Amino acid sequence: MDAVRDFLKVRGVADPKVRITRILRIDLDGDGEEEVLVNATNYFTDEKSNDSSAAPFPEAPIHAPQSGNYSIVILRRVVDGNVRTELVAGEVYAKPNESVAPNVYDLAAVLDLNGDGKLEVIVHSFYYEGGETTIYRCGPKKAEAVLSVACGA
């Protein structure tokens, strides 16, 4: 939870309400060292943001994102002896934003899709009128999208 909280604080969320939906420890690049993928989403209304029994929305919210809302997939790994946290996919709203339809990002799978012995990360994202599936390659410096398909308005 601290890693997600710190990630959100760096992006301007003063008091993050952390909601982790999935954590995977897996050796993505075949080097014998496990990386950690963390999926976290919080699109709660103000009334539910402090309610620990509230569950994340099963569908994308139709309201504009509020301050502190987010949906992210982050990667934590050791680079040159230091733990680094990087965004694979997602959105963070430090301030309300009436001009966007927020997306929910879901860590769907981790598979070796191209047979190179390294695992790709598959992320589904969706909003109230569409969705997208993106495949990410987690290179030594950053995660990058290599293939994406989307449908919606």
pLDDT for 54 beyond 60: no
Q: Is 148 helix (H, G, I), strand (E, B) or coil?
A: strand
Contact 106, 39 (CB under 8 A): yes
pLDDT confidence of residue 58: 52
How far is residue 83's CA from residue 23's CA, in Å, rounded to a whole number? 16
Confidence of residue 153 (pLDDT cuts 50, 70, 90): confident
- Please check whether residue 120 is in contact with residue 112, taking contact to mean a CB–CB distance below 8 angstroms: yes
Strands of 6-142, DSSP E: 20-26, 35-42, 70-79, 82-92, 104-111, 120-127, 130-138
* Cα-only R_g, the chain: 16
The rounded mean pLDDT for the chain is: 89
**What would the mean pLDDT of 41-61 be, rounded to a whole number?**
59
Residue 134 clears pLDDT 50, i.e. is over it? yes
pLDDT digits (tens, 9 = 90+) for 76-107: 999 888 999 999 999 999 999 999 999 999 99
Domain ranges of the chain: 2-152
Of 60 and 151, which is predicted with more confidence? 151
pLDDT of residue 56: 47
**Maximum distance among all alpha carbons in the chain?**
47
Question: The domain 2-152 is classified under which CATH number: 3.30.70, 3.30.1380, 2.40.128, 3.90.226?
Answer: 2.40.128
pTM: 0.89
For the segment 58-69, the average pLDDT, to the nearest whole number, is: 84
